[in-house]
């Protein structure tokens, strides 16, 4: 089994009762909303990852003001030639404040749209689990940075 580790950093940007989300396009074409953010480059600081990724996916410049916590995901999925990947995703979640830029959509990336959504409407959106995790971290602010089940 092939082991894969992906470290990524994401921003929870809430302003005037709305949250900034990016629409992720899966390999099968399914589209779901996610927090703006993504994979860390080798040698990159997670703080810089959030700034870079939010800009790439939304057009906004952000200031990651508070580290909210860590979320881990473990998945197994099929790979080419009948092998299986043992995937471990480590997600670092920051509260981020928009400081500049203009809303725009990413081109040639993993997302195809960025938009502000009313917090009250998030439950009705097609979304990835990370949106709920990020909002819980933002609301609860656990001192350990870890959410209890």
pLDDT digits (tens, 9 = 90+) for 46-69: 999 999 999 999 999 999 999 999
* DSSP line for 41-74: PTT--HHHHHHHHHHHHHSEEEEEEEEEEEEEEE
Task: Kindly report whether the global pTM for this prediction surpasses the value 0.75.
Answer: yes
- Predicted confidence band of residue 103 (pLDDT cuts 50, 70, 90): very high
Residue 121 burial by Cβ neighbours in a 10 Å radius (0-12, 13-18, 19+): exposed
CB 5 within 8 A of CB 11: no
> What is the sign, positive or negative, of the torsion defined by CA atoms of 94, 7, 48, 130?
negative
% of residues, the chain, pLDDT over 90: 88
CB 10 within 8 A of CB 21: no
Instruction: Identify any residues that bridge with 15 across adjacent strands, giving them in sequence order.
Output: 18
- Out of 18-22, 76-80, 114-118, 133-137, which region has the weakest mean confidence (pLDDT)? 76-80
Instruction: Round to whole Å and give the CA distance between 2 and 96.
Output: 34
Token representation of residue 47: 């703080």
Residue 129's SS3 state is helix
Please give the backbone phi and psi of residue 8, each rounded to the nearest 5 degrees, phi first: -140, 160
Q: Quick one: which H or E segment has residue 140?
A: helix 129-140
Tell me, what's the pLDDT at 145? Answer: 95
CB atoms within 10 A of CB 10: 29
Tell me, what's the pLDDT at 110? Answer: 92
For the cut 80, the answer to whether the pLDDT of residue 1 exceeds it is: no
């Amino acid at each position: 089994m092939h082991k894969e580790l992906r470290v990524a950093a994401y921003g929870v940007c809430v302003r005037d009762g709305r949250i900034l989300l990016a629409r992720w396009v899966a390999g099968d074409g399914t589209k779901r909303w996610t927090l703006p953010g993504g994979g860390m480059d080798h040698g990159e600081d997670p703080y810089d990852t959030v700034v870079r990724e939010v800009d790439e996916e939304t057009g906004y410049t952000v200031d990651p003001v508070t580290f909210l916590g860590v979320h881990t995901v473990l998945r197994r999925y099929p790979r080419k030639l009948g092998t299986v990947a043992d995937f471990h995703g480590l997600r670092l979640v920051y509260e981020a404040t928009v400081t500049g830029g203009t809303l725009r959509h990413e081109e040639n990336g993993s997302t195809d749209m960025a938009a502000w959504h009313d917090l009250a409407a998030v439950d009705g959106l097609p979304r990835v689990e990370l949106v709920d995790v990020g909002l819980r971290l933002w609301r609860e602010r656990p001192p350990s940075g870890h959410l209890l089940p």
